[in-house]
Amino acid sequence: MFTDLTLTAILYDLGRLTGLIAFFGLGILVFAGDTTRFFDRFFGFDRLIPFLKKLSYGTAVFLLLHPIFFMIAKQKFLAYLIPDFFYLHLALGIVAFYLFIIVMIASALYKRISHLAWQYLHVLNYILFFISLQHAKHWGSSSSYWYISASYQAMLFLIVIGLIYRAQHKIRHKTKAYPIKNIINENHDTKTFVFDMGEKQHFQAGQFCLLRIHDKTRKLHARHPFTMSNAPGSTELAFTIKQSGRFTEALFQLKKGDKVLIEGPFGIFTKKRCTTKRQVFIAGGVGITPFKSMLEDPSTENDPRKIFLFYGARSKKNMLFEDFFSKKLSKKFHAIYCLSQEKKSDGICEIGYIDEKILLKYITSFEETCFYICGPEAMKQSVIGILKKHKVPKEHIIVEHFYW
């Protein structure tokens, strides 16, 4: 690309390069957004969504740099800021630039604006892509290379495939609303919502669904992910949910008989992923839900492998499902409760966080062991650090990211 090494030429080529990267970044974002439900089975939603977030930030940086390099190289500023439709394809590039900025600002404001406004704003991404494609094809000098021109066509093909996938998924898997059958108060801030699904539910313990509600004012809320806390195979789905913000607050106001839109199952945080002799479950707070489902699953009963559950909570009153786990205790299943804010142990619980000392006290070797981790960020990072120190292979560390 850098054939002429004068500063102006280098800046100009950098402008072309950043434009190309931004265009392909945008294309991948649109395609991945349409096909997230398909790729969930390979990577898991909890990895895909943060990846897309990072990709959108990266794309924004390249998109911002694209005109800046041209402005400096050509010493022309307004020509790259104000669209002149006499030069249609350059003007389209400038329009695309502003549209992208609008979409990015809307994303940043996501927490404050209404979900529907956010959805409509996302439709702009398609318009943005097609305008950018016209700009790149007809204005960008790189399209004179056959392979670049072919990649534009390939990207367009991917976008069309993504759109078709999204449309057929929407038609085939229309999100249905299910009535709340029961609400169980687990503790001061956590409730289990049991739904009557009408037919036997097939999912793998550890998977989650996307829940969506209309609140009292009929306002539609964004989809939020929650793991099933009951075992597969029954006609009910249970979600144990901690109240933390707007969505969960609205959910907590619902009553028996109210309906919730449920879509799923999704996710790959399942026991299928590991075949080691021993399994160690490490949970923090409400991150216990996938393990409750796994331990309730009849397939776990028939599995001879040993399971150690390390469950971290602030105090006894914050613990979930203590009775359930206590009844499960056996030669095969061990539960270790670590309470960070209790002063004195009752002889059963450990005091403090789940750290290296506690792990080594109960599992003397980390070999032939799969570690499943679900809990707050600090706990997750600390445990992963310990496992890395003990050279636990990457494929034996399976993490569910509860916060996207």
> In the complex with ligand FAD, which residue's Cβ is closer, 16 or 212?
212
Q: Which of 16, 37, 191, 242 binds ligand FAD (CB under 6 A)?
A: 242
Query: How far is the C-alpha of 12 from the C-alpha of 23, rounded, in Å?
Result: 17
Asked if 190 and 242 count as a contact pair (C-beta separation under 8 A), the reply is: yes
In sequence order, what are the residues at sequence separation of 6 or more whose Cβ sits closer than 8 angstroms to the Cβ of residue 201?
A: 232, 233, 234, 235, 236, 237
Q: Which of 247, 311, 325, 366 binds ligand FAD (CB under 6 A)?
A: 247
Q: Which of 15, 140, 162, 225 binds ligand FAD (CB under 6 A)?
A: 225
Query: Using CB under 6 A, which of the segments 13-21, 148-156, 256-264, 396-404 binds ligand FAD?
Result: 396-404
> In the complex with ligand FAD, which residue's Cβ is closer, 289 or 300?
289
263 pairs with which residues across the strands?
Answer: 210
Asked if 91 and 78 count as a contact pair (C-beta separation under 8 A), the reply is: no
Q: Is 403 in the site for ligand FAD (CB under 6 A)?
A: yes
> In the complex with ligand FAD, which residue's Cβ is closer, 142 or 204?
204
Query: Using CB under 6 A, which of the segments 2-10, 65-73, 244-252, 317-325 binds ligand FAD?
Result: 244-252
Site string for ligand FAD, 43-82 (x = CB under 6 A): ---x------------------------------------
Q: Is 208 in the site for ligand FAD (CB under 6 A)?
A: yes
Site string for ligand FAD, 272-311 (x = CB under 6 A): --------------x--x----------------------
Q: Is 241 in the site for ligand FAD (CB under 6 A)?
A: yes
Site for ligand FAD, rule CB under 6 A: 46, 110-111, 208, 224-227, 239-242, 244-248, 267, 286, 289, 400, 402-404
